Each structure stands twice: as C-alpha cells, then as structure tokens.
Chains A and B, each alone.
Chain A
C-alpha cells in the first residue's frame, strides 16, 4: 500500500500541505501484525482453556489426554514463535472453523 498525501477536507479532496504531510507521517502507527496475531491466538487459547476448566473441579479426575492438551495450549506462545506459525494456528475452513489440530479437544 502507498500512503497518499491527500485529505478529504469538509468533503473536498485536496493535496495535504507541508505541515499536514508531516502530521500524516507522525500519526502513522503501523500495527505489529505478528503481535496482533499472537494476541488473537492467546484469546482463542484462553477460551479453549476456560471451556475445560470445569473438568478440574475437585470431585472430578481430569484425564491425562485433557491434561496434555491443556498443557500444549499453554505452551503455544513458547512453541510457535513466528508469523508463519501463527497463520497456521489461525487458519480456518470455509465454515469459519479453526483447522489446526491443536485446537481439537481430545
């Protein structure tokens, strides 16, 4: 994408002045996409964990498979560390469902 130095000023498009160009540049704050994706993954991870929190109540014995799965969810930030890995974790099918196997509860 290329930043254009134009302003829609009270419904009239015009070229930005020198001062406005400087302002446009100063207000540009590109987001850290990898950071955003990791935050999204953490959000999904936390939701998955909370959905199985009830299995840890005192009158229930959590299965080893669930324990291992929950630990793997907790380890995601340590084990998946680049944007390509984040993209795989966030991949969805046409129905909007997450496709990475790590999200599947055993």
Chain B
C-alpha cells in the first residue's frame, strides 16, 4: 500500500536523518538553508558578554570580567542619566578576581563635536585619571531622554601587552536645552589587563543606566 501522507506530529518519532533534510554535508559547523543545502555557518557577529541596568540611584555601575582572551574587540553601548550636574565618566577595571578601578593618569583622549545651536565642542586630555565621556550634563532628571547615550568600540582591553584604544560616538543633553554630539576616541596608556569598566558621573549618582557589552567575534 502506497503511503502518500504522513502526519509528522504522530507518525514520526526521533530525529530525522540529516540526509533527508537537504544536500551537502551536515555538521556542527554547517546550517541548513532555505534552498535545502547544508552550508558553512556564518561567522562573525556580536556575542553578549555582560551588562547592567538600573532605574534607581547608584554611585557607579561596574561591569567586570567581560573582557577576555576570547575576543579582541568589544562594543560597549549604553545610556546613562545623572541626578546632578556632572560629566559622564568611564574608568577601566583590571581583570581577575579582585578588579581594581584604574585611576592613574593614563587616559588620553580627544573628541570633537557640535551642539545643536551650531557651536563647536571638544573634550580632550593627554593624561587624565579618567575618560570624560561628556560634559555639561546639568541636573538631568527627565527620563524620556537620557543625559548620555552612545557607544564605544574597545580594542584589546584584555591584553597585557597592548595599549587599549577606544573610539565611538555619543550624544548628551545639557540643561540649557542644547544637544551635544561627539565623535572621537582615546587611549588607556597602560599594559594592565582590563576585564571591565566602571561608569559614573563626576558628581553624585547614576540615576538611570542601561549598559551592554558585546564581544566582536573574531573571524
């Protein structure tokens, strides 16, 4: 008797042989595409490695042990709101079991930007004890627009032989109504292996923050 229909929800149990699904070689490194062929799985992409989110006041946000030897480059994407007049601040944190905030004068950075009134803006230092990510974030207490929002690519933070570099862009809002947008980057001039970051404001609390760190898959 010829069978022309099988109810796959009842008539089949177990795992179908891959040869019945498509042509090509099925393996742990291939995926089945819509043309019914097994092809090499796509490489690259972003791998989430850690982050944090708060809607209540904290003095700082630390994201430790997210940088590792697994990835060379990382994407840090975040938004922050302060509860006082302040500047947005980033510190690197050392890797390992007892992460320490890196506060020596090893931060060199330069960012240029514009404000929404047409003026020019700069942030720069050759030997700061922190990376100042933005300035003029006055009394930002409206939650419908974060005081600071943006991202940075960080290169080789875990390396104990490389100077760490970072570059990115962000926008912040000042109490005078201006929006200020910056692009640029900087260096952390130290060979200390870094495992994470510390985010804060120059004065008082981080009122609201969402930060995510992704590893850029080496490929």
A10 touches B52 (CB 8 A): yes
Q: How far apart sit A6 and B209, CA to CA, in the bound complex (Å)?
A: 14
A67 contacts B by Cβ under 8 Å: no
Known contacts A1-B83, A31-B203; is A8 also within 8 Å of B138 by CB? no
**Between-chain CB contacts (< 8 Å), 23 pairs:** A1-B83, A2-B204, A3-B59, A7-B59, A7-B61, A8-B206, A8-B209, A10-B62, A11-B51, A27-B91, A29-B87, A29-B203, A30-B84, A30-B202, A31-B85, A33-B138, A36-B136, A43-B120, A47-B118, A90-B176, A92-B176, A96-B117, A96-B177
A11 touches B203 (CB 8 A): no
Q: How far apart sit A30 and B83, CA to CA, in the bound complex (Å)?
A: 12
Contacts of B24 in A (CB 8 A): none
Known contacts A16-B59, A40-B136, A92-B177; is A8 also within 8 Å of B52 by CB? yes
Distance from B63 Cβ to chain A, minimum over Cβ atoms (Å): 6
Contacts of A49 in B (CB 8 A): none
> Which B residues between 59 and 92 are near A, CB-CB below 8 angstroms?
59-65, 83-87, 89, 91
B200 contacts A by Cβ under 8 Å: yes
Number of residues in B with C-beta < 8 Å to the partner? Answer: 41
B206 touches A31 (CB 8 A): no
A9 touches B62 (CB 8 A): yes
Distance from A86 Cβ to chain B, minimum over Cβ atoms (Å): 11
A76 contacts B by Cβ under 8 Å: no
Per-residue interface assignment for chain A, residues 22 to 39, with 1 indicating a CB less than 8 Å from any chain B CB and 0 otherwise: 011011111101001000
Point out residues on A near B: beta carbons under 8 Å.
1-11, 13, 16, 23-24, 26-31, 33, 36, 40, 43-44, 47, 90, 92, 96
Q: How far apart sit A3 and B177, CA to CA, in the bound complex (Å)?
A: 25
Distance from B173 Cβ to chain A, minimum over Cβ atoms (Å): 13
Contacts of A11 in B (CB 8 A): 50-53
B127 contacts A by Cβ under 8 Å: no
Known contacts A29-B203, A31-B86, A40-B176; is A6 also within 8 Å of B59 by CB? yes
Contacts of B119 in A (CB 8 A): 43-44, 47
- What are the nearest 8 A-B pairs in CB distance? A30-B203, A11-B52, A1-B84, A1-B204, A8-B61, A29-B202, A24-B59, A8-B58
